[in-house]
């Protein structure tokens, strides 16, 4: 299947700083990528839909000024957690949609805010 990478896999940052997470589709172009958050022992919660060349669409309750998404190319979307706080600590997962409507997921990024 298609390959999606995320970088970094783990990041620890201090409260108040910003963290950028990259999501790349390695062997296909993705006009649409998705960002999810996964809490321990829970399912994935969709945060936003990232469309190449346009503004991201955020789910209800997700602060767009806190979780900045940029989809600058057909293979790269970035999520920046601004002014991170301990409650932002979580597992962030991206996925990329193929032209046949399948979604392939990245390995996730474990964010810990101290």
Cβ closest to another protein, residue 46 vs residue 82: 46
- Supply φ then ψ for residue 81, to 5 degrees: -90, 110
Cβ closest to another protein, residue 10 vs residue 85: 10
User: Of residues 43, 54, 65, 86, which one binds another protein by CB under 8 A?
Assistant: 43
User: Whole-angstrom Cα distance, residue 114 to residue 112?
Assistant: 6
Residue 14 within binding range of another protein, rule CB under 8 A: no
Two tokens at 31? 């006009």
For residue 35, cis peptide bond before it (omega within 30 degrees of 0)? no
Footprint on this chain of another protein (rule: CB under 8 A): 1, 32, 34, 42-44, 46, 49, 57, 93, 95, 97, 101-108
């Amino acid at each position: 299947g298609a390959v999606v990478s995320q970088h970094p896999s783990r990041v620890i940052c201090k409260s108040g700083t910003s963290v950028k997470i990259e999501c790349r589709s390695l062997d296909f172009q993705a006009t649409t990528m998705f960002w999810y958050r996964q809490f321990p022992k829970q399912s994935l919660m969709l945060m936003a839909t990232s469309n190449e060349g346009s503004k991201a669409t955020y789910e209800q309750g997700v602060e767009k000024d806190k979780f900045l998404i940029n989809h600058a190319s057909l293979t790269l979307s970035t999520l920046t957690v601004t002014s991170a706080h301990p409650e932002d600590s979580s597992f962030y997962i991206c996925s990329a949609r193929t032209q046949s409507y399948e979604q392939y997921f990245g390995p996730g990024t474990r964010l810990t805010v101290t």
